[in-house]
Amino acid sequence: MKPGCGTMPKFGRSSICQLHSSEGISRQPGPELDLGPDLPGYKLRATTVTFAPGAVRALHDHRKNPEITYTLQGKLTEFSKAGALLEFGPGAFRANGRDVEHWWRTAARRNWCSSMSRW
Q: Which CATH superfamily is domain 22-118 in?
A: Jelly Rolls (2.60.120.10)
Is pLDDT larger for residue 119 or for residue 115? Answer: 115
What digits encode the pLDDT tens for the residues 58-110?
Answer: 888 988 888 888 988 888 888 887 778 889 899 999 888 899 898 888 876 76
How far does CA 54 lie from the centroid of its chain?
Answer: 14
The yes-or-no verdict on residue 46 having pLDDT over 80 is yes
What is the number of other CB atoms lying within 10 angstroms of the CB of residue 14?
Answer: 9
| Residue 44 binned pLDDT confidence (cut-offs 50, 70, 90) | confident
Give the Å distances, CA to CA, from 10 to 42, 83, 85, 115.
Answer: 37, 10, 9, 26
Model confidence at 17, pLDDT cuts 50, 70, 90, reads very low
Q: What is the pTM of this model?
A: 0.71
Mean of pLDDT over the chain: 77
pLDDT band at 31 (very low <50, low <70, confident <90, very high): very high
- pLDDT-above-70 percentage for the chain: 76
Instruction: Please give the average per-residue pLDDT across 35-50, as a whole number.
Output: 87
Nearest to 45 by CA among 11, 12, 69: 69
**CB-CB contact of 33 with 48 (8 Å):** no
